[in-house]
Amino acid sequence: MNIVLIGSGNIASTWGKALAALGHRITQIYSHTLANAQALANSLSSQAISDLKELDLTADLYIVAVSDAAIPSVVEQIPGNLTGLIIHCSGASDLQVLSKFNRFGVAYPIQSFSKTIAIDFAKIPFGIEANTAEDETLLQRLFSELSTHVFACSSEQRLAIHLGAVLVNNFSNALYQMAYELLAQKNLSFDLLRPIILETAEKVQNRIPKDVQTGPAIRNDDGTINKHLQFISDNPEWQSIYQQITSLIKKRG
């Protein structure tokens, strides 16, 4: 399959290399910064372009791998007479953002990507959607070459997954940073918390999170909760976050 990557960031880089390894040909890579497109193109023996007017109109698949905010403006610049299938890979963008094209779809990976960290695609779920049953089947077949978990997913379902991913990934990481700063204030290493982070992550691999909830909130241990709040009394923002999450745990307990 001849594939054009529209974008040169983390997803374009990791997907491009993975698809090329499977025997697909990455014919072009677009970035508004030519040097970025060229850097990736060099590793994939592809053509680098910085103007979407130079887009190869004969490719089989076009992957729009840019930020959610940039998708509408990038799509506006792409010629509407593509004969191939065009997809984006966003969790928060609706399928219909690509509706100017005859064939369009989505392949959403439930994972964050980095150019410098190796990814085991086989373990990454991919949510698939397309405007026709034929292209949905095509996308499921293509991404099944990468992943063992490829499933049909509507735009509304994909948004729910994306929000869930923000909660368990981005929000939890922000809490990790709070804990890091808290310990650092007392000359303690964050390494002390890494084992408990892993233990909880392992528990929820096969159990409902609510069923493994521990801590003072689930026990209604107001004495400990008040000690914690007093301990961070010089940081009202942390206190507010602590109180809101404590309240949530108590209500769901």
Backbone angles phi, psi at 186, to 5 degrees: -110, 20
Output the CATH code of domain 158-252.
1.10.1040.20
Q: How far apart, in whole angstroms, are the C-alpha atoms of residue 66 and residue 178?
A: 30
Nearest alpha carbon to residue 6 among 56, 62, 48: 62
List, for residues 1-52, the tens digit of each pLDDT value.
999 999 999 999 999 999 999 999 999 999 999 999 999 999 999 999 999 9
Residue pair 36/58 in contact (Cβ under 8 Å)? The answer is no
Nearest alpha carbon to residue 137 among 125, 120, 152: 152
Residue 98 has pLDDT above 80, yes or no: yes
First and final C-alpha spacing in the chain: 51
Q: What is the pLDDT of residue 114?
A: 75
Residue 118 has pLDDT above 80, yes or no: no
Residue 197 has pLDDT above 90, yes or no: yes
- In sequence order, the 6+-apart residues with CB closer than 8 A to the CB of 114 are 10, 14
Instruction: Specify the DSSP class assigned to residue 232.
Output: T
For the chain, the residue count is 253
Q: How far apart, in whole angstroms, are the C-alpha atoms of residue 5 and residue 46?
A: 10
List, for residues 230-243, the tens digit of each pLDDT value.
999 999 999 999 99
Q: What is the pLDDT of residue 155?
A: 96
Residue pair 3/19 in contact (Cβ under 8 Å)? The answer is yes
Output the CATH code of domain 2-153.
3.40.50.720
CA distances to 40, 60, 88, 92, 178 from 105, in Å? 24, 13, 7, 14, 39
Residue 117 has pLDDT above 80, yes or no: no
Provide the residue ranges of all domains of the chain, joining segments of one domain with +. 2-153, 158-252
List, for residues 203-238, the tens digit of each pLDDT value.
999 999 999 999 999 999 999 999 999 999 999 999
Residue 143 has pLDDT above 80, yes or no: yes
List, for residues 70-84, the tens digit of each pLDDT value.
999 999 999 999 999
Residue 252 has pLDDT above 90, yes or no: no
Residue 164 has pLDDT above 90, yes or no: yes
Residue 112 has pLDDT above 90, yes or no: no
